[in-house]
Amino acid sequence: MLRRRLNRWLGGEERRVDSRTIYVGSRSANEAFIPPKFCDNRIVSSKYTVWNFLPKNLFEQFRRIANFYFLIIFLVQVIVDTPTSPVTSGLPLFFVITVTAIKQGYEDWLRHKADNEVNKYPVTVLEGGRRIRKESEKIKVGDVVEVEEDETFPCDLVLLQSSKEDGTCFVTTASLDGESNHKTHYTVPDIDEDLESLSATVECEQPQPDLYKFVGRMHIDKIQDPTVRSLGPENLLLKGATLKNTQKICGVAVYTGMETKMALNYQGKSQKRSAVEKSINAFLLVYLCILVSKALVCTTLKYVWQSNPGQDEPWYNEKTQKEKDTNFYLKMFTDFLSFMVLFNFIIPVSMYVTVEMQKFLGSYFITWDKDFFDPEIKEGALVNTSDLNEELGQVEYVFTDKTGTLTQNNMEFVECCIDGFQYKYRDANSDLDGICTTDGPVNKVRQKAVEEREELFLRALCLCHTVQVKEPTEQGHSQREEDMVDGLGVDGHLVHPVQEQRGFIASSPDEVALVKGAMRYGFTFMGLESKTMKILNRNNDVETYDLLHVLHFDPVRRRMSVIVRSKSGDILLFCKGADSSIFPRVRPEEVEKIRMHVERNATEGYRTLCVAYKLLSAEEYAQADAGLREARLVLQDREERLMAVYNQVETGMSLIGATAVEDRLQEEAAETMEALQGAGMKVWVLTGDKMETAKSTCYACRLFQKNTELLELTVRTLENGERRREERLYELLREYHKKAVQDAPPNKAGITRSWSSAGQDFGFIIDGATLSMVLNSSSESTSSHYKNLFLQICQNCTSVLCCRMAPLQKAQIVKMVKNSKGCPITLSIGDGANDVSMILEAHVGIGIKGKEGRQAVRNSDYAIPKLKHLKKLLLAHGHLYYVRISHLVQYFFYKNLCFILPQFLYQFFCGYSQQPLYDAAYLTMYNICFTSMPILAYSLLEQHISIEELLDNAALYREIAKNAMLRWGPFLCWTLLGVFHGLLFFFGVRCLFSNPALQDNGQVFGNWSYGTIVFTILVFTVTLKLALDTRHWTWINHFVIWGSLAFYVFFSFFWGGIIWPFLRQQRLYFVFANMLSSVSAWLVIILLILLSLLPEILLVVFRKPRGPHTRQRSEVSLLQISRWCPSHHYPTSI
């Protein structure tokens, strides 16, 4: 591990060779052999060790400005003779550092625990013909590992042997790429059954993170005939994947530990900072300036006052010789530091730990919410990052995937088109597009298409796929559900009895839907055995085809093909793919018969695929076969060479027909999207699907309305003019900008549909190819201009649809909006591995626990079972979290200003002698004990508006948008309130002390009594103010509010009622008890508390709504007031 890191630091990553050589099996004794060094199989995701935890954690914590500041203050108190004890700042700092360290240490301990579970997992290794059980971390590169069904692969293995006769195995990679469907992997050909005698050399590329790429070759040493076999992704079993539907396999380890593809794909999520944290830092700088100003004022006035005769050295306080010899400027600097220490409590260091606890504990309310529980998957919501809870209440842009997010990703075969004739399975007789169609199996209906073409089309559906048949098991349906098998229980009378209990396994639900569709029309795929595909036709005859080659699907080609040999010796290529990929490769006259159906199906929201075939001559096949074999053996540029062969053989095909598969909308998808728009959020749909399908989904989700004018910027619109594409792009951008931005009414620009009163609603559509032109124009200035026009158009549209998007383009769009003017808060939501990039890019990433596995969930900040849960997550939880933490932050600054202002004013009456107003115990415990728990309970439990009201009235979300409660206006209001209370506390008590005799015996109160009275009024006022602000009372609120006040009284009696042996000065001995013996002290305490809270009480009385119908209106108006006034009160009926 250390060697690998050193290599990376020293540039070894760049200098290393492009391939690695791995020796499998025993080498002969006379052969010189030095085993190459590779990393071990340990996985390390933890951050700390026992030895580096303390220094590393302390270093990270003191990088935070507030912690570092208090450390400096503490050191100043230790070194310099300051008026307060080092304990007053050291204890709160120690408390904050300790709590944070415990939290981070616990989280890292959990990571260590998870690592140990993986590293200590027992595995079976074949050594010297024996099966040896080892810990996973002891596997070395070159070891032959045995894995049984339902076990996870401990490292990246090349498949050597399988228990299945055809040399295949089934794997699920949900933990890697998010795809929960089964994938088929193949053994390396020509491997003997006896692995003990195997002697081979594997040459493969160095470790790299691409899950779908693996290039290598295997030299099999045989005495008679040494052979070389190509290795590709189909031979590589990845760490983290799980073996399914196969009893056991054996494979050789090629990548281990932190060099496995899973480890290389693990990237620590970049630290996301919320808008609240940025506001805290800004407010902190303001209070730091106030602190420095106070210290400068007091230092200056001290030396001005001491410049008067007799003031610098009065007769009762003569200077020592040491003081006389001290440098004047050094003494002035020391005094400045002393004042800084005296006033340093205006900076609320304990606020950070309170915020951390509020976020950590508050996140459990999302996890515990029963409305987020989904009975289908028996799971609820998941919180991966508690630091962004309040950001859920600030979202301005929502970027959503389509398939699996807006839709269910549950494919159902709907209809097909053969030679231009429609075959609809579900509907009764109808007349569509002028063609008479009927439901039912093809062979029972007299259609215009030739029967041979019908059968050719159905054979193509049965052969052109990577579907595997799962045989029935004793466990029956229960195991089928566990293995996530699709396709059981197809309509009885159309399925042959033998096939009724068979299930299908595929990497894509589309493929299963098409195979099931062929079954409905009498052609049943029976499975693949030893490279032979079997089909049961309508006449119950079994047809066999030799599978020669599979040209796998990839997102660039957007198609896949198979080459098969029939029993008669004909070699056929069957191809299926997107219309944009198939149409250019077939004859134009065939396209026109199919295009109309494809476009109509796409408009109806169906997913469409086109099917074509080609009869290969012996020469064409020989050329393709040689090209494919040669390309698969090379180590460099294998993908490019394979692509060239694929493109060469997939030309001149004949178009047979097209299919339509339906993907239904998610439950309550339309209502959720409508609520988000009503809350003021802009919704953008980013999908890889074709435009027509995605547009139909947007209409179904109510993102586009009937009166929405669509502005389309796609390849199709760019080709409609005679000009060059780039000129046409600029022309359209100018035209759309004029229409959507320049000509829009002033109140309409930048506002969504839900509260626009007049004007035209616009929707914007762009595809991936056009987006590339916008983002990557020929010149940088042009690209920047295009991007600005594009952004302004999109920001003035109610919804935006981006279709044909690559995963990287999704992230680019999110980044572009995130960095635009105003830095709006963005949220991305998706369910698949292709959504991970945009989930990581957005301020808040939401993963959906869908059918495409858990890659999106693992990389998200929050995970929810269904799209409909997003509504409550944002409108209720997000709203409440933001209001709570905003109040917490403002309240902390306010109560610390109330605390320190009397201390500052006291200096004007004590000759700027740095005399503290409060006892050291009060200074230390004010933020830790006396006032911390009530605000923590408030920030966890407060519901200023009921959850039902928040969900019913989405417009309430807009009232807290753009960080409304943490702007400078509300901050100034809270600061002025703190100044008012501080002045009232100090001068109110000073008025009391103008009477010399405050006790029955004629004795007077001293300076510690003065400070104690001020402190008592302070604690009661700030606590009761929070009680007045509380609208949602629970027993916890009552306990912490009244309990904190009771604890203060008890502590004051206890602290002053005992002579403590460890204290040199007992400043508060019986001061508190003596103070309460004075009626005047009682009177002034009660009077000043009431005067301080009078504005709060009046606001509660006069703002209370008079009837049930005024509740909602009252809440909205009061929430607007809360932006500018810290005393925001809401109806107590909630």
Active-site annotation, residues? 401
Identify whether the C-beta of residue 686 lies closer than 8 Å to the C-beta of residue 404.
Answer: no
- Taking alpha carbons only, the member of 241, 108, 110, 120 closest to residue 181 is 241
**Cα–Cα dist 169/185, whole Å:** 5
Find where tokens 């025993």 sit. 26
Round to whole Å and give the CA distance between 317 and 409. 85
Distance separating alpha carbons of residues 516 and 549, to the nearest angstrom: 23
Gap between the Cα atoms of 281 and 274, Å rounded: 11
Token pair listed for 349: 């260091």
The CA angle 552-558-564, to the nearest 5 degrees, is 40
Contacts of 834 (CB under 8 A, 6+ apart): 178, 401, 688, 807, 810
**Cβ 655 vs Cβ 582: under 8 Å:** yes
Q: What is the DSSP letter of 739?
A: I
Nearest residue to 200 via CA among 404, 380, 25, 352: 25
Using an 8 Å Cβ cutoff, are 1116 and 955 in contact? yes
Q: How far apart are CA 405 and CA 366, in angstroms?
A: 20
Taking only Cα atoms into account, the Rg of the chain, rounded to an integer number of angstroms, comes to 37
What DSSP designation does 268 have? P
Q: Helix or strand or coil: residue 797? A: coil
- d(CA 368, CA 370) in angstroms, rounded, equals 6
Q: Read off the DSSP letter of residue 1001.
A: T
Gap between the Cα atoms of 929 and 310, Å rounded: 43
- Residue 27 sits at the vertex; the CA angle it makes with 24 and 30, to the nearest 5 degrees, is 165
Cβ contacts of residue 1019 below 8 Å, gap of 6+? 926, 930, 931, 1045, 1048
Residues 6+ away with beta carbon under 8 Å from 397: 681, 682, 684, 817, 824, 825, 826, 827
Euclidean distance between CA atoms 513 and 325, whole angstroms = 94
3-state SS, residue 154: coil
Report yes or no: 353 and 100 within 8 Å, Cβ to Cβ: yes
Q: Facing residues of 683 across strands?
A: 398, 799
> CA 909 to CA 897: how far, in whole Å?
19
3-state secondary structure (DSSP) of residue 657: strand
Give the residue among 286, 194, 183, 290 at the shortest CA–CA distance from 242: 183
Structure tokens at 262: 């899973």
- For residue 1069, give the DSSP letter: T
CA-based angle 540:545:549, to the nearest 5?
150
Contact assessment for residue 175 and residue 853, using Cβ atoms and an 8 Å cutoff: yes
User: Which residue's entry shows tokens 């079994």?
Assistant: 542
The residue type of 533 is M
Rounded (5°) CA angle 700-704-709: 145
Element (H, E) at 127: strand 122-127
For residues 847 and 858, is the Cβ–Cβ distance under 8 A?
yes
In whole angstroms, what is the distance from residue 761 CA to residue 749 CA? Answer: 10
φ and ψ of 75, to 5 deg: -65, -40
